[in-house]
Structures are given as structure tokens and as C-alpha cells.
């Protein structure tokens, strides 16, 4: 059994998303001792910013005219897709940054998406079990002053569920900046409750991920 794990936090030592991801991973490993975890840290080892353009333009370029950059982009996109296709389960930890999708995660998706096995007509990922862990510095739920400011989670759900067809579970932890940003001190108790709930949800998601049939 193989778990593919992607991390996108730029601050690994204090990352709330990685900490929740660790809980998911541990539950999966407890159920599948000795199994492999294939890791890709797109913050520490980012996808080159030009790779998506090179891969796309390579599709309109005769093989004998491909540049070295285009060949490298095609080889990388194949590795990215292989990691997903070869895995029995998928774990993604992607924090909200500046109210939007992490640029590192977006570059990863864009390049992998050019592989014909997982493009709009591809079926290689349909039904594969996956967990998305996402964390938010504030709280953008319905009824909050900044309702609708989270432009990451909805996009991620759309591309992972509707485009790739993953059997997706989402674990969310809001208010991770409570204790960091003094303006949020009034929400200390609420943040603590939300953290506990997210940790419980992560463990549940890990058990479900481990029990799912690939």
C-alpha cells in the first residue's frame, strides 16, 4: 500500500496544516504498518514557475523541435501524475494564503493536470480515496464578518472532486492565527475548541482513508 502526501505550508516547523496531516498519516500507517509514504513538499521544493507554460506549449510543438525546458517540464508532469496514479490513497495539506490558493499547490496542480491520464478526459484518479487538510488564519464561515473570503477551499474541492474525481474528505481548522495576531485574542476559547474538533476530524479522516478501497 502507498500513501501519497503533498504539503504546501511555507513554515514547516509551526505548520498547523502539516500537524493535522500528521494525524491523518499516522492513522493510515497504523492500519497499514510498513507501507510506503511518498512525499512531495511543494513549498520546500517548488514546481518551477515556467513548467506549466513549457508543458502546455510542448503539446503544440513537433517532437524534434522541443526545447530542453519543454522536455524537462513533460518529464516532471509525468512524475507528478505517476505519484498520484500509483498511490492507493492521497493526502494533501494546503493552507489558505492571502485569501486564496497556495501558489505552490496551484503550480503543482496546473502541471500535473497537463498529463492526459488526469486531464479533463482522463479517468486514472476517479474514485481514489483522498483527504484534503486545509487551515485558515481567520474564520470565514457563514455568518462571520469575512464570510466568503476563503477563495481556496472551494477551488480545491472543485478540482479535486469534480475534475479529478477523487473520493474526497475535507478537514478544516479555522482561527490558526489566534495567539499570533493580537486582534484575534477575543476568540481564544473558540479557537481552542475548533482545534480540538479539527484534530478529531483528522483522526477520523485518517481511519476512513485507511479503510477505503483504492
What is the SS3 string spanning 157-180?
A: HHHHHHHCCCEEEEEEECCCCCCC
On the question of pLDDT at 205 being above 80, the answer is yes
Among 152, 204, 195, smallest CA distance to 175 is for 195
Sequence-separated (6 or more) residues with CB below 8 Å from residue 84: 4, 90, 112, 118, 124, 125, 128
CA angle 46, 100, 204 (to 5 degrees): 85
Q: What confidence score (pLDDT) does residue 119 get?
A: 84
Percent of the chain at pLDDT > 90 equals 96
SS3 17: helix
Gyration radius (Cα) of the chain, Å: 18
| Pick from 98-102, 143-147, 154-158, 171-175: least confident | 143-147
Give percent above pLDDT 70 in the chain: 100
Q: What is the per-residue pLDDT for 120? A: 81
Question: For residues 118, 123, 124 and 127, what is the CA-based torsion angle, rounded to 10 degrees?
Answer: 120
What are the residues whose beta carbons fall under 8 Å from the beta carbon of 22, sequence distance 6 or more?
none
pLDDT (tens digit, 9 = 90+) per residue, 89-125?
999 999 999 999 999 999 999 999 999 999 888 889 9
Q: Name which of 16, 5, 15 is nearest 174 in CA terms.
A: 16
Q: What would the mean pLDDT of 152-174 be, rounded to a whole number? A: 97
pLDDT digits (tens, 9 = 90+) for 51-81: 999 999 999 999 999 999 999 999 999 999 9
Q: What is the DSSP letter of 55?
A: H
* pLDDT tops 80 at residue 214: no
CB 120 within 8 A of CB 174: no
Amino acid at each position: 500500500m502507498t500513501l501519497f502526501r503533498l504539503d504546501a505550508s511555507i513554515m514547516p516547523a509551526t505548520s498547523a496544516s502539516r500537524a493535522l496531516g500528521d494525524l491523518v498519516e499516522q492513522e493510515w500507517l497504523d492500519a497499514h504498518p510498513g507501507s510506503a509514504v511518498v512525499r512531495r513538499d511543494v513549498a520546500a521544493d517548488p514546481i518551477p514557475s515556467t513548467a506549466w507554460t513549457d508543458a502546455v506549449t510542448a503539446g503544440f510543438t513537433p517532437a524534434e523541435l522541443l526545447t530542453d525546458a519543454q522536455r524537462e517540464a513533460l518529464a516532471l508532469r509525468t512524475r507528478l501524475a505517476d505519484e498520484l496514479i500509483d498511490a492507493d490513497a492521497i493526502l494533501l495539506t494546503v493552507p489558505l494564503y492571502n485569501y486564496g490558493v497556495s501558489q505552490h499547490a496551484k503550480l503543482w496542480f496546473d502541471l500535473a493536470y497537463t498529463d492526459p491520464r488526469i486531464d479533463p478526459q482522463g479517468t486514472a484518479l476517479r474514485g481514489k480515496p483522498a483527504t484534503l487538510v486545509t487551515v485558515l488564519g481567520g474564520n470565514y464561515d457563514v455568518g462571520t464578518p469575512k464570510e466568503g473570503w476563503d477563495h481556496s477551499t472551494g477551488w480545491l474541492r472543485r478540482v479535486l472532486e469534480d475534475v479529478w474525481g477523487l473520493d474526497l474528505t475535507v478537514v478544516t481548522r479555522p482561527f490558526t492565527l489566534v495567539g499570533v495576531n493580537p486582534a484575534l485574542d477575543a476568540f481564544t476559547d473558540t479557537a481552542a475548541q475548533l482545534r480540538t474538533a479539527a484534530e478529531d476530524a483528522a483522526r477520523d479522516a485518517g481511519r476512513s482513508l485507511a479503510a477505503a478501497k483504492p
